[in-house]
């Protein structure tokens, strides 16, 4: 009986250490889990999590409205792989940005970046309410599931939020491919 309790305390101590170590990388961040279990991600504490509608699954907004993250979902007709089909995905996403955002400008696909995993990253500017906005779109493809993480800030403040947006994208985890 004593051995069992000692072992249980040891396991509990290890779990606490693992939780502390994993949280230290993003101290002051909190987890968001999609109510339908399609994805999870981490975002800064103090931001507001709002439910989306239609293709927009969630909106995470900085408390002063200086930045936001929008998660969208689209089911593809054919499975794609960001590692293998990177150039095809870039062209599809560029065309869709031009179609959706008729006033989008400076549409640039970033080279594949190991620090954000197998994610297609495109940046563009667009007119916003009272300011020009810069958008970094991360396209995460898992089989036929396409998740877009659209990170938005004013063009003037975008550099300040860029590393934070990368952290959000790196923390994204989806369900298994369909």
The answer, yes or no, to whether residue 86 has pLDDT greater than 80, is yes
Q: Produce one character per residue of 68-98: b if its CB has 16 or more CB atoms within 10 Å, e if not.
A: bbbbbbeeeeeebebeebbeebbebbbeebe
User: Which whole number is the average pLDDT over 154-160?
Assistant: 94
Tell which residue, 81, 82, 85, 128, has the closest CA to residue 104: 128
> pLDDT at residue 168 above 70?
yes
All structural domains of the chain with their residue ranges: 28-174
The string of pLDDT tens digits covering residues 40-55 is: 999 999 999 988 888 9
145: number of Cβ within 10 Å: 20
Q: Is the pTM of this model over 0.85?
A: no
What confidence tier does 23 reach under pLDDT thresholds 50, 70, 90?
very low
| Superfamily of the domain at 28-174 | Mog1/PsbP, alpha/beta/alpha sandwich (3.40.1000.10)
Tell me the per-residue pLDDT of 115-125, one tens digit each, with 9 for 90 and over.
666 789 999 99
Q: pLDDT value at position 12?
A: 32
């Amino acid at each position: 009986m004593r051995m069992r309790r000692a072992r249980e305390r040891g396991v509990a101590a290890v779990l606490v250490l693992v939780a502390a170590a994993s949280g230290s990388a993003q101290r002051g961040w909190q987890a968001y889990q999609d109510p339908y279990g399609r994805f999870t991600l981490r975002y800064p504490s103090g931001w507001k999590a709002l439910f989306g509608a239609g293709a927009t699954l969630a909106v995470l907004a900085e408390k002063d409205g200086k930045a936001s993250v929008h998660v969208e979902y689209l089911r593809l007709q054919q499975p794609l792989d960001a590692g293998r089909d990177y150039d095809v995905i870039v062209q599809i996403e560029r065309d869709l940005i031009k179609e959706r955002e008729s006033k989008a400008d400076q549409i640039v696909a970033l080279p594949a970046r190991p620090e954000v995993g197998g994610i297609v990253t495109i940046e563009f500017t667009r007119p916003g309410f009272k300011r020009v906005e810069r958008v970094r779109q991360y396209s995460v493809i898992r089989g036929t599931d396409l998740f877009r993480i659209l990170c938005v800030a004013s063009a003037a403040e975008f550099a300040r939020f860029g590393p934070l947006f990368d952290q959000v994208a790196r923390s994204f985890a989806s369900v298994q491919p369909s």
